[in-house]
Chains A and B, each alone.
Chain A
């Protein structure tokens, strides 16, 4: 479980996060939605420690990550997996080496064979085992996302962070990736947090949705509730597309 308490972050005069409080529960896909520039990415970077918040705290299973030193953070980070918007696969490593990499760095108890078996299991889980000897430059965007998911779950994480997992993907592939993340979350009982502005993702896999508006947590609830919230800003976002408005 991840708890966020009064999280604030500013860049100079610009207050990006203005005191966010929320809880992300285990085994659920938690979605952060909001317009571009609303502070979603900054919020996620504060959660994983890539940015330091000005005040407030992020608690991983009751432990305040914000106050930890680098050594303590490294222990928590070993339990994290992250899927980046651009996949962030290591160009110089093959698909298989990318997935083995986190295991090589930290699992001194595992033999090379065990690490490869784990990597193959993860690649098989995301249906991309056939591409294990290819380099990232040789595979498609959707395949890269799958490999990034395999790498993120290789170390059996307790927390999975996904920054716009289906950006740049066609609608069909985007749904496949969404479902994959949702299945993995339930199967391995991970606390998953997804940053997105794709309403398809919200309706498909959103167990818990938070809407960030101008640096504030404006609304939170389930994907069912979001359609009937009555909140103007949320409805403007949800029904932004002409097609969805017609369906409404």
Chain B
């Protein structure tokens, strides 16, 4: 029952968030700031995880496909498909749900408990729109960029693993990377990322916005934001995969 109440409240908040901005100029400035806060400041962790995961996927694939009937370039092919279809859009989004989601929920939750949101309301400002909409738009712009970088670095990580450990010759790895490449796979990854970005920013914004109490409740909101963002990412991953790939 509580779940349905939360979904109802979330949808009502979305209606408030998506109202016409009172001063579009200020919203534009906020979007730029949020792109830096939520996107560029996540670049480091995305880069490190992508390189190492790409390397691990390559090594694991090489060891698990050591069969005379399977061509050696299959390692490169499998690495590319794993990274584009699942690792970069979904796993990176889950990581961003942890990093960005907790940041959004704690920032807005703190503003709630310190009456900053009340101050916005008394001024006649649509506080939900002003605080959450720029974060949603910024995430939907910047997360696909992060995922593109992640795909590139994941494949680079696989190449580095091949070069260092020699589990697969580089020429075969590159052949596999380019083998039957479909642009639609990248399109699919980006569509998923945009949806996940919307979910992360809006769900985290919702849990921050409804915070009541003090520091303890801000912590709870932050945790809920990460947990529910992650759950909905996993659910929508299944739904979008069914819609877009089948």
Contacts and interface: CB of A to CB of B under 8 A. Distances in A.
For the complex of A and B, 6 pairs with smallest distance between CB atoms = A77-B124, A88-B115, A74-B124, A88-B119, A82-B122, A84-B115
A85 to B, nearest CB: 7
B122 A90 contact: no
B244 interface: no
A131 to B, nearest CB: 19
Q: Could you say which of A76, A82, A105 has the most chain B C-beta atoms within 10 Å of its C-beta?
A: A105
B115 A85 contact: yes
B124 A73 contact: yes
Contacts of B125: 105
Contact of B123 (A75, A86, A105): A105
Contact of A82 (B22, B23, B119): B119
Contacts of B123: 77-78, 80, 102, 105, 155
Contacts of B110: 91
A77 B119 CA distance: 11
Contacts of A82: 118-119, 122
A142 to B, nearest CB: 17
Contacts of B23: 104-106, 108
A90 B119 CA distance: 9
Contacts of B121: 49-50, 77
B60 interface: no
Contacts of B116: 88-91
A104 B26 contact: yes
Interface in A13-56: 48-50
A48 B122 contact: yes
A50 B26 CA distance: 24
Contacts of A84: 115, 118-119
B114 interface: yes
B119 A106 contact: no
Interface in B1-52: 22-23, 26
Given A80-B122, A82-B119, 19 more contacts: A50-B118, A50-B121, A50-B122, A77-B122, A77-B123, A77-B124, A78-B124, A80-B123, A84-B115, A86-B115, A88-B116, A89-B116, A90-B111, A91-B110, A104-B23, A105-B22, A106-B22, A108-B23, A161-B122
Interface in B104-157: 110-111, 114-116, 118-119, 121-125
A48 B120 CA distance: 12
A91 B131 CA distance: 13
Contacts of B122: 48-50, 77, 80, 82, 161
Contacts of A74: 124
A86 B115 CA distance: 7
A206 to B, nearest CB: 23
A108 B114 CA distance: 29
A85 B114 CA distance: 9
A75 B123 CA distance: 10
Contacts of A106: 22-23, 124
Contacts of B124: 73-78, 80, 106
A48 B121 CA distance: 9
Contacts of B115: 84-86, 88
Nearest to A98: B119
A89 B117 CA distance: 10
A75 B125 CA distance: 10
Contacts of A90: 111, 116, 119
A73 B111 CA distance: 22
A166 to B, nearest CB: 16
> By CB atoms of chain A within 10 A, which of B111, B116, B122, B125 has the most?
B122
Interface string B219-241: 00000000000000000000000
Nearest to B22: A105
B209 to A, nearest CB: 14
Nearest to B19: A70
Interface in A157-178: 161
B31 to A, nearest CB: 15
Nearest to A101: B123
A49 B119 CA distance: 12
Nearest to A80: B122
B28 to A, nearest CB: 13
A115 to B, nearest CB: 12
Interface in A92-120: 102, 104-106, 108
A78 to B, nearest CB: 5
